[in-house]
A and B are shown apart, each in its own frame.
Chain A
């Protein structure tokens, strides 16, 4: 049989969904515990929402699924949501911007064309966004929330990498490129080509040294940043203020016992970020990331509200989680009919209903296959005086023969 699935799309099978739900459940619990509220945005948004900020790279925008809706004669294109944050920022501006602080979270799919066949065109992410508030505390909150989710998922070998979009932009400015060249350089860096930055010739040797130092060294505490500050006293004011911002964040993280690596070049795709950027790697793979994006809400015609957020990438995390069998054994009950007569079928449905009403999961089976992975099996023969045989699967022997419904419930409840 030919595979009929759309190219680049994925089916999530029962086993996948167990892992998916586990991630989602842990993420939801953590977010709620931190005071975040869940939202959902529509699958379709206007294309101009994503072009309006002028922050997404052309290469990212050229991969969106965009089309004209059935009433799109005005040429206004719609897209399958290519990003999680921008729609949530739109939702915030449209509905919630009156609030002083807004903490939101979501579980969503995002769509982007992928031509190599190595990745999916539909991907899932769990994201949290923090609108309003001063800097520093929300930055650290978002990092710690992400860290807690990842810790509770039980992932090992996790690395947190920190960078700062403000620092990168300040470095770019120091190179004093023409506006066209600066855009090109920004695009290259956003796409992960940091070598472009090292190759760029600066008239000022101090800048070259600064770039080399920041790209070459990887700090593990705020001390590294203090060293940078001390070594480059002539750096621009923009650079210094971004550095101060990163120093405050890392100092607080140090004091809270959160370990990380400062790696300016580790992060790409930080299109709309303005301050701290971070990402989590597990077993060498990127499993999540986020940062501060203070300009996004005003660029989308909202008020001047600072914001930060992060997203956990569900697809790579699913691959890292151990396979789990669905656990029916703890309380699952299988109700089997011995024959397919009207009377037996009716009894089976009635028994199963009584069990479900009593709070147990009760599955029906009329195939005669060998049951496994259940706590109890109720065989309905319909023959008086013993219409039921109740088997305790943990002990592999019949426990009660000829039990009444009330007796079954009693035995089951006693375990």
Chain B
């Protein structure tokens, strides 16, 4: 067996939904990554069997991009994220090697049961301005263009796309286990875009120039049956040719939802527990939103108040578009929004005092810089672009410009930016609570950009509306009382 240098072949492995079946597959084909499991706390793995093979555990969304830019030779991730990349960058350097035969559900185009949209023809013939909400903006755009939809707007969201129709979106492009499963959420599946199966992918240049044969042989020993049909493709697969047959029995349940005078958005994820505590303290009793329970549409004892639970990252944009009058989000995401849309009609009302984080710039402890000024000098002397990983793209962009860092490249991430340093990025801009995680990953903070905590935001037009003013004031007063 040929011995390669350490790190000769780099493999990107997924977190989340595909971690466990991928770990089983790797064990079965004996790649020597015993530490790759649900319990692992490290990002970097080394193969016990192939000295030249190393791996990193990344968010699935990041894997196709990281393999395409050549930071990894091989990667494993869902077909949805591969197609989301390929449909936008068909000439990119991403090659699909083979399906790995596991995965669940499909990406569907769905409409709300109330929308009156029964099939795809309604969309291409219609003159309406359709709002499409999705975690897959590229797939959604390709779908809309292929269908020759006359007018559409795409709202990319970080998650919870199913919560938006019918009030806040006409269509959604989202993952669903099956058509029937989607129907139980009050949504009508119109078209199945692609099945979500795990794929082995490769960087084109690595495939053309590097000897990956030992590793590929391990995979193909398990997968030969699939190779002829799907192997070695670099073209996106999305098409609109086969519309999903919506079976007659499909019963779409309609969510109990009526238009309300005031609409409030509450966060899911990390902010859910402290927010529910805060609301309790403020005397706002909710059903379906507590530390343990999550309904996308909780109810309050105020009959004029409509509540929806969505991702905090998506709230400023949703409030700007008048989908909500009020929302509880983080100041970090509000600032991210304002840097992108400076004249947005969103107003911060007041901070709520929980969810405090610092937004920092951090680098590897080994990097010889103590602050951003030293970083500037270092970048100037190197002439190579500073690679900056961040989930706050607009904040990072503004920060780097304001500090005259030139040149730089931004690497958008979906959380856990620390995994990117030092191999795939030189600096990160991310939020920290205590700084412990950064220390664990041998990183140091070189600048604090600002401090952020949860805050209440409002749509400016709603604040000014004579119809809404009284109730808006009542609600904000109630929430303000929770601060005391």
Chain B proximity mask over A56-76: 1 for CB below 8 Å, otherwise 0: 001001100000101111111
CB distance from B94 to the nearest CB of A (A): 14
Q: Is the CB of B150 within 8 A of A75?
A: no
Q: Kindly specify which of A46-54, A168-176, A285-293, A321-329 makes contact with the partner chain.
A: A46-54
A70 to B90, CA, bound (A): 27
Q: Is the CB of B131 within 8 A of A54?
A: no
Does B321 have its Cβ within 8 Å of any Cβ on chain A?
yes
Chain A residues contacting B337 (CB-CB under 8 Å) are 73
Q: Is the CB of A48 within 8 A of B151?
A: yes
Chain A proximity mask over B33-51: 1 for CB below 8 Å, otherwise 0: 0000000000000000000
CB distance from B380 to the nearest CB of A (A): 16
Chain A residues contacting B343 (CB-CB under 8 Å) are 70-71
CB distance from B396 to the nearest CB of A (A): 17
Q: Is the CB of B154 within 8 A of A73?
A: no
Q: Is the CB of A74 within 8 A of B148?
A: no
Chain B residues contacting A61 (CB-CB under 8 Å) are 145
CB distance from A154 to the nearest CB of B (A): 38
Does B269 have its Cβ within 8 Å of any Cβ on chain A?
no
Chain A residues contacting B148 (CB-CB under 8 Å) are 51, 54, 58, 183
Q: Is the CB of A73 within 8 A of B145?
A: no
Q: Residues on A close to B: CB < 8 A?
A: 48, 51-54, 58, 61-62, 68, 70-77, 115, 179-180, 183-184
Q: Is the CB of A75 within 8 A of B344?
A: no
- From A54, A71, A76, B124 is in contact (CB under 8 Å) with A54
Across the two chains, which residue of chain A brings its CB closest to B319? Answer: A73
Chain A residues contacting B152 (CB-CB under 8 Å) are 48, 51
Chain A proximity mask over B390-429: 1 for CB below 8 Å, otherwise 0: 0000000000000000000000000000000000000000
Across the two chains, which residue of chain B brings its CB closest to A46? Answer: B151
Across the two chains, which residue of chain B brings its CB closest to A56? Answer: B148
Chain B residues contacting A115 (CB-CB under 8 Å) are 90-91
Jot down 23 A-B pairs with beta carbons below 8 A, ordered by A: A48-B150, A48-B151, A48-B152, A51-B144, A51-B148, A51-B150, A51-B152, A53-B150, A54-B124, A54-B150, A58-B145, A58-B146, A61-B145, A62-B142, A68-B340, A68-B341, A70-B340, A70-B342, A73-B320, A74-B320, A75-B154, A115-B90, A180-B241
Q: Is the CB of B317 within 8 A of A73?
A: yes
CB distance from B175 to the nearest CB of A (A): 21
A-B residue pairs, 7 tightest by C-beta = A75-B153, A115-B91, A73-B320, A58-B145, A73-B341, A48-B151, A58-B146
A53 to B148, CA, bound (A): 9
Interface size class of B (residues with CB under 8 A): 20 to 34
CB distance from B272 to the nearest CB of A (A): 25
CB distance from A126 to the nearest CB of B (A): 29
Chain A residues contacting B129 (CB-CB under 8 Å) are 48
A179 to B90, CA, bound (A): 28
Answer whether A76 and B241 are a contact pair too, CB < 8 Å, given A51-B148, A58-B145, A71-B341.
no
Q: Is the CB of B341 within 8 A of A70?
A: yes
A68 to B337, CA, bound (A): 13
CB distance from B186 to the nearest CB of A (A): 23
Of the listed residues A48, A52, A73, A184, the one surrounded by the most CB atoms of chain B closer than 10 A to its CB is A73
CB distance from B190 to the nearest CB of A (A): 14
Across the two chains, which residue of chain B brings its CB closest to A179? Answer: B121
A382 to B364, CA, bound (A): 67
Of the listed residues A61, A68, A75, the one surrounded by the most CB atoms of chain B closer than 10 A to its CB is A75
CB distance from B410 to the nearest CB of A (A): 15
Chain A proximity mask over B111-146: 1 for CB below 8 Å, otherwise 0: 000000000010010000101000000000010111
CB distance from A299 to the nearest CB of B (A): 9
CB distance from B238 to the nearest CB of A (A): 11
Q: Is the CB of A74 within 8 A of B153?
A: yes
A355 to B320, CA, bound (A): 62
The total of interchain contacts (Cβ-Cβ below 8 angstroms) comes to 58
Chain A residues contacting B153 (CB-CB under 8 Å) are 74-77
Does B149 have its Cβ within 8 Å of any Cβ on chain A?
yes
Chain A residues contacting B342 (CB-CB under 8 Å) are 70-71
Q: Is the CB of B155 within 8 A of A75?
A: yes
CB distance from A72 to the nearest CB of B (A): 7
A328 to B39, CA, bound (A): 79
A48 to B151, CA, bound (A): 5
Further contacts, 12 of them, CB under 8 A, given A71-B342, A73-B320 = A51-B144, A51-B152, A70-B341, A70-B342, A72-B341, A73-B317, A73-B340, A73-B341, A73-B344, A74-B153, A77-B153, A179-B121
Give the residues from 288 to 305 in chain B that come closer than 8 angstroms, CB to CB, to chain A. none
Chain B residues contacting A179 (CB-CB under 8 Å) are 121
Across the two chains, which residue of chain B brings its CB closest to A72? Answer: B341
A48 to B340, CA, bound (A): 21
A229 to B340, CA, bound (A): 61
A74 to B345, CA, bound (A): 11
A183 to B240, CA, bound (A): 11
Answer whether A62 and B145 are a contact pair too, CB < 8 Å, given A70-B341, A72-B341.
yes
Across the two chains, which residue of chain A brings its CB closest to B144? Answer: A51
Give the residues from 326 to 375 in chain B that come closer than 8 angstroms, CB to CB, to chain A. 337, 340-344
CB distance from A1 to the nearest CB of B (A): 12
A61 to B151, CA, bound (A): 13
Chain B residues contacting A76 (CB-CB under 8 Å) are 153
A53 to B340, CA, bound (A): 30
CB distance from A165 to the nearest CB of B (A): 17
A58 to B143, CA, bound (A): 9
CB distance from A161 to the nearest CB of B (A): 27
A279 to B318, CA, bound (A): 48
Chain B residues contacting A48 (CB-CB under 8 Å) are 129, 150-152
CB distance from B327 to the nearest CB of A (A): 14
Across the two chains, which residue of chain B brings its CB closest to A71? Answer: B343
CB distance from A119 to the nearest CB of B (A): 14
CB distance from A138 to the nearest CB of B (A): 28
Across the two chains, which residue of chain B brings its CB closest to A48? Answer: B151
Across the two chains, which residue of chain B brings its CB closest to A76? Answer: B153
- From A52, A68, A71, B150 is in contact (CB under 8 Å) with A52
Chain A residues contacting B321 (CB-CB under 8 Å) are 73-75
CB distance from A83 to the nearest CB of B (A): 15
A53 to B149, CA, bound (A): 9
Q: Is the CB of A51 within 8 A of B341?
A: no
Across the two chains, which residue of chain A brings its CB closest to B345? Answer: A73
Chain B residues contacting A75 (CB-CB under 8 Å) are 131, 153-155, 321
Chain A residues contacting B149 (CB-CB under 8 Å) are 51
Across the two chains, which residue of chain B brings its CB closest to A184? Answer: B241
Across the two chains, which residue of chain A brings its CB closest to B243? Answer: A180
A73 to B121, CA, bound (A): 28
A180 to B243, CA, bound (A): 10
Give the residues from 225 to 260 in chain B that come closer than 8 angstroms, CB to CB, to chain A. 241
CB distance from B335 to the nearest CB of A (A): 14
